[in-house]
Structure 1
Amino acid sequence: MTYLPTDLTVTVRSTHPHALHLAVAGDLDYESARQFTHDTNQALDAHRQEHGPVLQDLHLDFSRLTGIDSSALSALLLLHRRTHPAGTTLHLEQQPTYMTRILELTGIADHLTRDARTLSAPGGELDEQTETASAP
């Protein structure tokens, strides 16, 4: 049996000032990771132009994802690198079992979906000094 890759699509499902919902379908792999990055950046740019820099949550629906490889992980990390410093939390929804497993095995599941609205030190870890100083 021959495996035929499925073309990747990223579709805007809904947009609100503080939330953007995208649906990802097809294979997210070496061949399509660049397109995924381009399409998600384009959606983020359009949202920012329409609503300003107020996006708090980016929801990615993976229910129609048909395959991933290590390039998918790189693409998700690039997306996180853009959204997290801007205060936008990623939500990876409706993940196929194989995606959940690969994210857990590589240890990046929690990293990708960490709440972006928490105070953090330059290394990305919670800074005890900042936490103590901001306590009432």
Structure 2
Amino acid sequence: MTPPAPFDPTYLRLTTASESGDEVRLELHGFLDYDSADHFLAVATEQLADSPGLRVLHVDCAGMSGIDSTGLAMLLMLHRRTTAADVTLRLVGRPPALERMLDITGTLDHLVPDRAAEAGGRSESSYAEYRPASENGLPADSAGHGSHAVGPEISG
């Protein structure tokens, strides 16, 4: 069996864009997925260890090319680590694909609890609107929920 190839840092590039006292901004460029997830988590966790007094870790996702479920799992793991360190994690510059994945998976409010403030006080999703099952054309149970509907309707 051949050993796995070393991680190619051009696949996912993380740079510390700015540091100011108790805040660090980490810019993410590339794909956050199965192949890059461990690298992402190691670099981001290093920021926690190397920055005593850190209060806010900004992860700028504007350069993100894509994300898969493993990438999402690493964002959730980073959230756990920042919470344990009493550091606020802020995901900024979220591209539509990331926003949509967070919305679909129900992790948007968990990872971006202050999104209402970002949107000028609105907290609705910009990608999918929940409608009662009867409006979606699905049979509804006695509580009005569709027997097959588990979340917002997504159309592509």
Q: Which residue of 1 aligns with 2:95?
A: 96
Q: Which residue of 1 aligns with 2:71?
A: 72
Contact 1:89/1:114 (8 A) holds in 2: no
- CA–CA distance in 2 between the matches of 1:113 and 1:90? 8
Cα drift, residue 80 of structure 1: 0.7
Q: Which residue of 1 aligns with 2:47?
A: 43
The structure number with the bigger radius of gyration is: 2
- CA–CA distance in 2 between the matches of 1:90 and 1:113? 8
RMSD of aligned residue pairs (Cα, Å): 1.4
- CA–CA distance in 1 between the matches of 2:103 and 2:22? 28
The two structures have a TM-score, normalised by structure 2, of 0.63
Across the two proteins, how many residue pairs are aligned to each other? Answer: 105
Matched residues, percent identical?
40
User: What SS class does the counterpart of residue 102 from structure 2 fall into?
Assistant: helix
* Unmatched tracts of structure 2, length 5 or more: 1-9, 115-156
Aligned AA (1:9): R
Aligned AA (1:46): D
* Unmatched tracts of structure 1, length 5 or more: 1-5, 116-136
- CA–CA distance in 2 between the matches of 1:114 and 1:94? 15
The runs of 4+ residues in structure 1 deviating greater than 6 Å are none
The structure carrying a bigger helix percent of its residues is 1
- CA–CA distance in 2 between the matches of 1:44 and 1:13? 15
- CA–CA distance in 1 between the matches of 2:113 and 2:85? 13
- CA–CA distance in 2 between the matches of 1:70 and 1:104? 13
Cα drift, residue 89 of structure 1: 1.2
- CA–CA distance in 2 between the matches of 1:77 and 1:87? 15
